[in-house]
Every structure is written in C-alpha cells, then in structure tokens.
Chains A and B, each alone.
Chain A
C-alpha cells in the first residue's frame, strides 16, 4: 500500500519562474493538504482540497494555487517565484477534511535562486 508520494523531490528555479508540485494521496484518502516548511521552522498550512474544491486557505498570497483531480491527486502551483519561497513543500492526505489522521509525504525541496 503506497503512502503519500510527491514529485519532484528536489528542484531549482530562478526568481520570477513558475513551479508545479505534484502529490498522490495514500490509497483510500480523498483529502489533500499542502504545507510549506521553511528551514528550521514548523510546517505552515497553505490550503486543503476536498471534492476538487479548495476548502480552506492559510495566509499565503494568490501566487500559490492548487488543484485536485478526480482521482484525488493534487498539484500545487507557485507563480512569480521569490527567494523566500525556498522551502520544503509537504503534501498530506487524509480520509475526509476533518478529524482524519494526516499522512505526510517526504516533500518537495524547492530552491529559488
């Protein structure tokens, strides 16, 4: 039983570029949440997707957008990259948007130069 898988694992971009990160949830899970973890910090909630809709959003600008597909997989898009967007981006899946245990992937490490 595959857990949460994320791709790519590492990537390097330059300021102003755009990036797309991908996440496949754990088998049987229908909800995907995205978190940003800066170096030495705890993860910060970006947004959550359930039933292909954004259910809640954290304190992140509109440059951060997402999508959930009918098979429950998800993408995180970041436009107009800034140096401060360099971080580990974590995807977490759960069964249902509330109360279910979150299972995290290993993350995508984004470096913006």
Chain B
C-alpha cells in the first residue's frame, strides 16, 4: 500500500533560519507528491506539488524536489518567517482517488 513518513515534530526555529522537513514515501505505481499546510484555525491548503521525477514544486519561498531514486520529497525554505508557523503535511496520490498523508510536522518560528 501507499504510505508517507515525515519527520517528527515539533520543530522550533528562529526567524530567518533555514528549514528542512524530511518526507519519504512508498507507493504502488507512480505517485504525485504534495505538501499541504494547515495554519492555526484554518483548513488544509495546498502549498506545492510535483507530478514526476526531478520536478521541483515551489510556492511562497518553499521548495521540494521529487526524488524517485530516494523516494523523497523534502520541504525546504531558505529563510522562515513567524507567519510560516503552521503544521505541514506531506502527501501522495497514486493509482486511486485518495490522498495519503503523513502525520504532519508542527513548525513554530520565533522572532
């Protein structure tokens, strides 16, 4: 079956620090990969996505590259802001209608 493993949180960073949240996956077939973000009190929002190997998804300064050889899709941002504090979910869809999510990583950015 499909599964997503992402690094345990919570992660606490100072403003302007570099962020990496690791995500690896197992999937039957050829998945599309996603990062979703959940800000406090809000619904899940799509942050970025990649649909084939070596694709780089990017949005709001965040990036992630689809690495088929390592089955990974790590999320990075060069300089985080307080407004980036949220829960981040790695997810995939492969050969079905359903998204499979990781457990989420809570990020707190302090001034």
Contacts and interface: CB of A to CB of B under 8 A. Distances in A.
A110 B42 CA distance: 16
Contact of A43 (B41, B42, B45, B101): B101
B97 A42 contact: no
A105 interface: yes
Q: How large is the interface on A (under 10, 10 to 19, 20 to 34, 35 or more residues)?
A: 20 to 34
A42 B98 contact: no
Contacts, number: 49
A40 interface: yes
B89 interface: yes
Interface of A: 3-4, 33, 35, 40-45, 48, 55-56, 58, 90, 92, 97-98, 101-102, 104-107
B21 to A, nearest CB: 13
Contacts of A55: 97
Interface string B67-107: 00000000000000000000001010000111111111000
